[in-house]
Structure 1
Amino acid sequence: MPYDDRQATLGRRGFTGLLSAAVVAGLTGCGSGGDINPSIATTRNVQHPLGNTDIPVSPKRVVSLDASGGLQVSLEVGAPLVASETLDGAVSVPGYLPRPAAGFQSLGFNQPNLEKVVKLAPDLIIGNLQRIKDLYPQLSAIAPTVAYENAGKGKPWQDSVRLIADLLGQSGKQDAALGSFRERALQVKIEHQAFLAKHSVALLRFTNNELRILRGPIFGSTILDEIGVRRSPSTAGAGGTDTYYPLNREHVGLLADADVILYFLGGGAFNAGPDQIFKSYTNNAIWTQLPAVKAGRVARLDPTAWWDGYSVSAANNCLQQFTMTLRKLPQK
């Protein structure tokens, strides 16, 4: 349901009553501190786009206002995630991730509810800058709150997920997982190097209103780069954005320079009408005459990993899909 404007304008004063119970509970849980070694730090200071924040070294109750990195990295490294924003669409929590622990609460997609966050009694709140910035004063009154930039803004996704894991006190686990991913990507690159040397690839996304060639720092595109995929020249077309180039129906013929076409429908907030857009683009003579289509080198991918993915688990799932796809395509 839409977020209540009354909640969005709550200030620190409006939280006094809501926070009192959580504060009392926290103080009661801490006790006198007689069994705590004062020489061992329980908090550390981190700098982030909205300031400097003291956060727990080992958080116990994490809330994520981020359906991408916050949700996926928390589950991947086994952080104590009590609630999170989840993906919009048919899949709220990607199946390639470990399942949330019992009692986990979904916060929906882009529906920040401050009263609900208070009741969750978190000791750490994380989220991308887009979700956090307007509510930062209120969220900081509830628990230590840290914002971060999404991947794709000049920062590789590998750096972004490591940063999130570090906030959760799990950078070691994430480093190990990233190392394993790089080894696996190299294996995929070696296995398919002969095919990839001869064939260019276009990665497409059908949204609710258009066809886009994906490129640049967007997650799925970077996975192809990791395994040395040669992109078709049309991928670098002038116009669009750094992450995609739009194609109208009359210009689908530009994809004639791709030996292989990989595509997915929707992803993100585009889940209502991509099927119809897909049909409108592909049920015409221009599409059917594309060399990749005529050669049978067209394959559909899962948008949950290729678009909504934001973790090592998602990257490994993309590698698996890519490998299975190429093994089924004509090799000549």
Structure 2
Amino acid sequence: MTQSLVSRRGLIALAAAGLISRPARAVEFSAAAIDWAMLETALALDIRVVAGAELLLYRKFVSEPDLPSGIADLGLRGSINFEVLRHTAPSLILSSPWYTRLEPNLSRIAPVLSMRIHERGRDPYGAAEAVASELGRRFGREAAAEALIGSTRDELAATAGRLAAAQQPPLFVISIGDPRHFRVFGADSMVGTVLKRLGLANAWARQTSYSAQAPIDIVTLADNPDAAIAILAPVPDDARRILPESAIWRNLPAVRAGRVMLLDPVNHFGGLPAARRLGRLIGLALTTGAPGIG
């Protein structure tokens, strides 16, 4: 068993280096990911990921699970480097319908698994669980997929139990675009479904477009005077500088009452790892406090 595994790994390395032709079994256990939700889920299942797209931004905006050392960066998600992808010799390329136009070229390198988590009007949580299950099945990581699904549900439920000990305000979860505008997440977003699982009311009950709505004028945050505001980092430098001095911002009910939280970055359109991270960050901010803006 060990000798066989070592042999397969050696063949993969040689194939990636271009020293031998790529045999079918040499790439049986590796994946490349174009879509970040697929990437973070594969990493959470301890699947061997040899390449991913926009990894510098992944480290900034997604941050967990950690990227393995040696993973190749394929460049922009919408315009990847096919030569680098070919060199890494994946057995399966993980994508989503956002990148359908790339599939003819991707499929010349390896089979493509494209799965949709986020769709307008649909709760994405079940789709995120389906992605975990399918990746577990494809890579022989069924037990890891079951564990990820169960532990994510359990962690969100445990956080909901802690939050239930005190009355919690409705919550706007936003990302700031500039000093006057923001993006807000609705019920059909991963943010929205996490809020629901935490027993929290989403303060944004209006229309969304593919899970979120933008740009929204900052004054709209006054429409629900009892709500709190959770801001997902990063915050643009001009907004961070201007908002504390803005009379509009300082007079928002949530700001005056100190109900503003600045959260670490989370993948807005992620899978189960993003849901678990967001639930943890919101739970900590509501129970222990988190710095805001202004």
TM-score scaled by length of structure 2: 0.77
Aligned counterparts of 1:150 and 1:242: Cα–Cα separation in 2 = 11
Partner of 1:313: 273
Structure 2, unpaired ranges of 5+: 1-15
Q: Deviations over 1:132-159 (max 9, x none)?
A: x223222222222222224244352342
Partner of 2:65: 97
Contact 1:253 1:287 in 2 (8 A): no
Q: Secondary structure of the equivalent of 2:173?
A: strand
Q: Specify which of 157, 169, 188 is matched with residue 199 of structure 1.
A: 169
Partner of 1:123: 91
Partner of 1:237: 206
The count of aligned residue pairs is 269
Q: Deviations over 1:100-145 (max 9, x none)?
A: 1x432121232312222222222211211222x2232222222222
Question: 1:253 corresponds to which letter in structure 2?
Answer: A
Contact 1:306 1:314 in 2 (8 A): yes
Is the counterpart of residue 25 in structure 1 residue 22 in structure 2? yes
Contact 2:50 2:70 in 1 (8 A): yes
Aligned counterparts of 1:218 and 1:156: Cα–Cα separation in 2 = 6
Matches within 5 A, 1:181-220: 181-195=152-166, 197-208=167-178, 210-220=181-191
Cα gap change, 1:165 to 1:206, in 2 (>3 Å): farther
Aligned counterparts of 2:192 and 2:241: Cα–Cα separation in 1 = 24
Q: Secondary structure of the equivalent of 1:78?
A: coil
Partner of 1:6: none
Displacement of 1:74: 1.4
Partner of 2:232: 264
Displacement of 1:204: 1.7
Question: 1:230 corresponds to which letter in structure 2?
Answer: A
Partner of 1:8: none
Is the counterpart of residue 291 in structure 1 residue 288 in structure 2? no
Displacement of 1:281: 4.6
Displacement of 1:324: 1.9
Deviation larger for 117-126 or 91-100: 91-100
Cα gap change, 1:148 to 1:228, in 2 (>3 Å): same
Q: Secondary structure of the equivalent of 2:107?
A: helix
Is the counterpart of residue 327 in structure 1 residue 294 in structure 2? no
Aligned counterparts of 1:292 and 1:240: Cα–Cα separation in 2 = 25
Aligned counterparts of 1:240 and 1:97: Cα–Cα separation in 2 = 28
Cα gap change, 1:251 to 1:168, in 2 (>3 Å): same
Structure 1, unpaired ranges of 5+: 1-18, 31-55, 267-272
Aligned counterparts of 1:213 and 1:138: Cα–Cα separation in 2 = 35
TM-score scaled by length of structure 1: 0.69
Q: Secondary structure of the equivalent of 2:158?
A: helix
Q: Deviations over 1:72-103 (max 9, x none)?
A: 11111111111111356382584431441x43
Contact 2:55 2:73 in 1 (8 A): no
Contact 1:129 1:150 in 2 (8 A): no
Partner of 2:239: 277
Identity %: 22
Question: 1:307 corresponds to which letter in structure 2?
Answer: H
Aligned counterparts of 1:129 and 1:90: Cα–Cα separation in 2 = 19
Is the counterpart of residue 64 in structure 1 residue 33 in structure 2? yes
Contact 2:33 2:39 in 1 (8 A): yes
Contact 2:117 2:271 in 1 (8 A): no
Question: 1:204 corresponds to which letter in structure 2?
Answer: I
